[in-house]
């Protein structure tokens, strides 16, 4: 659920105003229920698109590594390629395992749609610890390989190459941590909204 969607924000604000004015949560109108179902269907389509995008990105990265970055005649490059393939396999397995049961609603009811959205938020939050571990594994694999590649050159690598390596070690984790902080807050906010809607359906 995007907090930048004016239509959705308007729906939430109107419903919350009605709820605040009553002793019990205001019942959702048929229009609100229709919008909820429509929103969840769009999120379902986005989930399938995300899975396809992940596969395309992984294949693109592998193609770039094979065609431009790695020389498989060198044992170190062959080893790092094997490590990357293993990381991809683990990532795809976890990704699809974590999304099991959330691809689409099991029934055409508003309650089911809201419950599905809450569960999707929980799965998103569960992804974050895995992302941290994956980042650590990637750095543990790529940093030694990059250092070895620089030191094994016939000529001493220029300072710019070492600065690029340092940037990779520092900037990538920093960007991931910033993204994870934003993503966690966004997901918690979404889940709170869905849970508030869920209580109104009881």
HSE-up (13 A, CA, CB side) for residue 52:
6
Residue 172's nearest CA partner among 134, 117, 130 is 134
182 falls within a domain: yes
pLDDT of residue 27: 60
Residue 151 lies in a domain: yes
Q: Is residue 15 part of a domain?
A: yes
54 within a domain of the structure (yes/no): yes
pLDDT of 1? 46
CA dist 123 → 107, 143, 175 (Å): 20, 30, 22
- Residue 10 pLDDT: 55
Show the 3-state SS of the chain.
CCCCCHHHHHHHHHHHHHHHCCCCCCCCCHHHHHHHHHHHHHHHHHHHHHHHHHHHHHHHHHHHHHHHHCCCCCHHHHHHHHHHHHHHHHHHHHHHHHCCCCCCCCCCCHHHHHHHHHHHHHHHHHHHHHHHHHHHHHHHHHHHHHHHHHHCCCCCCCHHHHHHHHHHHHHHHHHHHHHHHHHHHHHHHHHHHHHHHHHHCC
At 175, list the tokens: 């960007």
pLDDT value for 14: 52
Domain span at 63: 6-200
Q: Give the distance, in angstroms, between the CA of residue 178 and the centroid of all CA atoms in the same chain.
A: 13
Write down the pLDDT at residue 26. 53
Q: Give a yes or no: residue 25 inside a domain.
A: yes
Residue 99, in any domain of the structure:
yes
Residue 1 lies in a domain: no
| Tens-level pLDDT at each residue, the chain (202 residues) | 445 555 555 555 555 554 444 445 556 667 777 777 788 888 888 888 888 888 888 888 888 877 766 777 788 888 888 888 898 899 989 998 998 888 887 777 778 888 888 999 999 999 999 999 988 898 888 888 878 777 777 777 677 777 777 777 788 888 888 999 999 999 999 899 888 888 877 6
Asked if 141 and 83 touch (Cβ cutoff 8 Å), the reply is yes
Cα dist from 103 to 74, 95, 120, 166, 188, whole Å = 42, 12, 9, 40, 20
Position 21 scores a pLDDT of 45
- pLDDT value of position 189: 92
Number of domains comprising the chain: 1
Q: Is residue 176 part of a domain?
A: yes
What is the pLDDT at residue 187? 92
């Amino acid at each position: 659920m995007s907090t930048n969607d004016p239509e959705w924000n308007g729906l939430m604000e109107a419903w919350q105003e009605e709820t605040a004015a009553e002793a019990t949560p205001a019942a959702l109108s048929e229009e609100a229920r229709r919008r909820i179902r429509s929103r969840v269907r769009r999120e379902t389509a986005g989930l399938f698109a995300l899975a396809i995008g992940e596969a395309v990105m992984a294949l693109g990265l592998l193609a770039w590594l094979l065609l431009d970055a790695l020389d498989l005649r060198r044992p170190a490059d062959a080893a790092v390629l094997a490590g990357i393939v293993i990381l991809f396999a683990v990532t795809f397995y976890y990704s699809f395992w974590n999304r099991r049961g959330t691809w689409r609603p099991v029934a055409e009811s508003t309650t089911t749609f809201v419950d599905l959205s809450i569960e999707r938020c929980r799965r998103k939050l569960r992804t974050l610890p895995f992302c941290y571990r994956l980042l650590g594994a990637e750095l543990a694999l790529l940093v030694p390989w990059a250092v070895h590649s620089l030191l094994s050159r016939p000529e001493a690598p220029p300072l710019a190459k070492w600065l690029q390596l340092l940037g990779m070690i520092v900037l990538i984790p920093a960007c991931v941590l910033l993204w994870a902080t934003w993503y966690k807050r966004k997901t918690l906010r979404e889940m709170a909204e869905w849970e508030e809607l869920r209580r109104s359906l009881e």
